[in-house]
Amino acid sequence: MSKKEPHHSRGWTPVRRGKIYCSPMCGGKCTYRDYQRAVKDAAKLAKRLGPKWKPHMWDNLGWHWQVMYFTHGVLRASIWRGYGGHYHASIGGVYTAHATTPEAALYAALKELDASIAVQYETCSALHALPCMKLLVRNEVGSKTH
C-alpha cells in the first residue's frame, strides 16, 4: 500500500459493530458510547473557547479528542483533556503546557511562546550588532543568500 494513499484507506476508518465503534487498525474494541462522549466533550469545549475552535476525534486504543484553532487554514493551537482531568495545550506543536482549565493551559503555553520570542529577539539583535553584519549591511555585500 502506498504511503500517499489517504489515512482512511489504511484501515483507520471506524466501523460500527453493535456497541463497538473502532477502526480495524486500532483493534482496541473502542465503543460507540465512548465515541459519543468524545464528540460531546470536544463540541462542548470548542463552543466554550469560541467559533474558530474545531473538534477532532480519533480512535487509538480508545476514543480521544482535541479542539483545534486554525487561522488561514493553518493549525495554530490545540487543547485536549489528558489523564487525571488536566488540560493540555499546544501552540504550533512546540510550545506546550498543562493546567486545570483549558484557558489556563493555553495561557501557560502562550507564555512559553512569548519567552521564546524574547530570546529570539535578543539573539537577532545581538547578531545584527556584530561588526561584520554592520559592514555587510553598509556595503550590501551578501544581500543575496544563494
Q: Is residue 4 part of a domain?
A: no
Residue range 121-140, pLDDT digits in tens: 888 888 878 877 766 666 66
pTM, to two decimals = 0.73
At 19 the pLDDT is 96
pLDDT digits (tens, 9 = 90+) for 4-60: 545 555 788 999 999 999 999 988 999 999 999 999 999 999 999 999 999 999 999
Average pLDDT over residues 60-84: 90
Give me the number of domains the chain comprises. Answer: 1
Residue 18 belongs to some domain of the structure: yes
Q: What range defines the domain where residue 122 resides?
A: 12-139
Asked if residue 31 lies in contact with residue 16, where contact means CB atoms within 8 angstroms, the answer is no
117 in a domain, yes or no? Answer: yes
Whether residue 2 is contained in a domain is answered as no
Count other Cβ atoms within 10 Å, centred on residue 14.
19
Tell whether 101 is covered by a domain.
yes
pLDDT at residue 2 tops 50:
no
**Distances from the Cα of 116 to the Cαs of 58, 60, 88, 90, 110, in angstroms?**
31, 33, 19, 14, 10
